[in-house]
Chain A
Amino acid sequence: MLNLVDRRMGIFLAGLFLLTVAIPVGNLAMAGQPVPSYIVALLGKYLCYALLAVALDLVWGYCGILSLGHGAFFALGGYAMGMHLMREIGARGVYANPVLPDFMVFLNWDSLPWYWLGFDMFGFALAMALLVPGLLAFVFGWFAFRSRVTGVYLSIITQAMTYALMLAFFRNEMGFGGYNGLTDFKDVLGFSLQADSTRAGLFVLSALALAAGLLVSKAITSSKLGKVLIAIRDAESRTRFIGYRVEEYKLFVFVVSAMMAGLAGALYVPQVGIINPGEFSPANSIGIVIWVALGGRGTLVGAAMGAIIVGIAQTLFTSWFPELWLFALGGLFVFVTIFLPDGVLGLIESRLGRKAGPGAAAKEASA
């Protein structure tokens, strides 16, 4: 376990730990509340994004699978949690129906669709938040990887996948609240979602999930399997010819990554209070790629940092110059691609005189 925490990981986890202690204490236990509640919710959201970025880095940075549809796994995890939170509302909804969520009453449905059954149980919903994205990734990957769809073609079909899901979830008849999605949540496991203590609790859980996601990913990438993944990324056919069934390895890492993204989505929804089909939008999935590229692809910690940096930049920018944010993001992406091939983490580490990421070695290889 200890050998998973190299210097880079150690520094990041130590920082995360300090934040996890300081933020709730500053919010709940200190006079004058030096950390306002909205900051807690905001940071919790960034941590979910960071976990999502780590999930993408696992498949893209290490196995070369550029998924432009990872937002779909995140959104599905979010919907699973959202469905539980809807059921928790119970008779407190506008129509006071003890079983049916408001939007179903509004559509004149008289009973719960079969796929909503079981979501009244928290454990079931949490399991689904992992299993549904995992199952989708399994089915999708099984076909795509067996047919040896790679590179740009794979990226395009992942993009099509999330787009198709977005269109499907927009439809009212799907039974997921259509355009408006799921919202007006009241509480989770009996704790009010408006309470500061619940928000702080969700923040801590997000931090723990991020730490766990990082350690699991690190364990995978530093095992022999991780070396096979990098081998696939760098020379796929060579890997086949020494006897590895490349499609099995891709499928494994794609499913693990999708489940991690689903968990991030499940933690995200109670903190932002809403999930709607917009989360499936292809632009969101492309955004994740930008986080990872900006932080440092193939470093895990860099991906998490990238998500947090972009999240903070977005919050600041959209309050100062709202109309300029997308230009700034695009500019940042171009800048990083050209000048920082190893991302922000690569920049920091090269300043400290150490090598980072696959880019460093690849550059030497081509030199």
Chain B
Amino acid sequence: MSTQLLLDGVNRSFDGFKAINDLSLAVEKGELRAIIGPNGAGKTTMMDIITGKTRPDTGRVMWNQSVDLTRTDEAGSARLGIGRKFQKPTVFETQTVEDNIALALKEDRSVWATLFHRRSAEDTRRIGELLELVKLSHVAGWMAGDLSHGQKQWLEIGMLLAQDPELLLVDEPAAGMTDAETMRTAELLRQIAGRHTVIVVEHDMDFVRALDCRVTVLHQGHVLAEGSLDHVSANEQVIEVYLGR
């Protein structure tokens, strides 16, 4: 196994507030990793830095030990193979579920290639396969805006998988889901890990337990503890800043 993503001594402040404070983190290829932490711990800023939306003030962010992610933009990081799911499900509401997946398929993203693009049989097969995986085949022709909240979350995960990313960044996928949907989502993510590296940011402890993976606890932009959920739950500091509240 080799390191997929490495953050090394990353700092970022906004108007004097240190959102990320000397953050170092390494994630292996194929790993499923949960990141937890109280509000304002820097989880979203960390994702912004990894995807090139925000540049760190100092520190290194390395992709596959070779590419410097501090120099890419959002589209650039997506093209390298980083897929990101937002906390609030964000899909293309006025287009069909099928078209949403089709837009995300891993293909040439240049203007000309897109203008003259024809959907191949292989595309259609991939789209069908992905719709099957996220259980949306029966609503393929619906407008994405007509889906339920949970279905939109899955559609967005389907769109991520359509990009065939090496790394998926998933921001609070269980927010607003029913218990049954939450468990199904955990199962889906476990299924995906291995072939893809998955980083999940989450608040819901039942969900994190269901993921059954290594956990990193963030606090004030810094790694407080790392290990299995039971291990970090036993950590005094973690109990103090997070679990105890």
Contact = CB atoms under 8 A, between A and B. Distances in A.
Interface of A: 220, 223-225, 227-228, 230-231, 234-235, 237-238, 240-246, 248-249, 252, 358, 361-362, 364-366
A284 to B, nearest CB: 30
Given A224-B117, A244-B75, A365-B146, 10 more contacts: A224-B103, A224-B119, A230-B94, A234-B92, A234-B95, A237-B90, A242-B163, A358-B94, A362-B93, A364-B145
Given A223-B117, A225-B115, A365-B143, A243 B95 contact: no
Nearest to A248: B111
B93 A225 contact: no
Interface in B173-200: none
Contacts of A245: 75, 109
A243 B75 contact: yes
A241 B92 contact: no
Given A235-B92, A361-B93, A362-B94, A240 B78 contact: yes
Contacts of A243: 75, 78-79, 109, 163
Interface in B49-63: 51
A228 B114 contact: yes
22 contacts: A223-B114, A223-B116, A224-B103, A224-B119, A225-B111, A227-B103, A231-B95, A234-B93, A234-B95, A235-B91, A237-B74, A240-B74, A241-B83, A241-B86, A243-B109, A244-B75, A245-B75, A245-B109, A248-B111, A249-B111, A361-B143, A362-B93
Interface string B76-91: 0011000110100011
B76 to A, nearest CB: 8
Interface string B123-145: 00000000000000000000101
Interface size class of B (residues with CB under 8 A): 20 to 34
B119 to A, nearest CB: 8
Contacts of B99: 227
B159 interface: yes
Interface in B97-113: 99, 102-104, 109-111
A44 to B, nearest CB: 31
Contacts of A244: 75, 109, 114
Nearest to B100: A231
Contacts of B91: 235, 238
Interface of B: 51, 73-75, 78-79, 83-84, 86, 90-95, 99, 102-104, 109-111, 114-117, 119, 143, 145-146, 159, 163
B146 A242 contact: no
B92 A225 contact: no
Contacts of A364: 143, 145-146
Nearest to A238: B90
A365 B148 CA distance: 10
Contacts of B90: 235, 237-238
A361 B78 CA distance: 28
A223 B102 CA distance: 12
A243 B165 CA distance: 11
A242 B93 contact: no
Contacts of A358: 94
Nearest to B117: A224
A241 B51 contact: yes
Contacts of B163: 242-243
Nearest to A365: B145
Given A361-B145, A362-B94, A362-B145, A241 B84 contact: yes
A242 B159 CA distance: 8
A219 B53 CA distance: 33
Contacts of B145: 361-362, 364-366
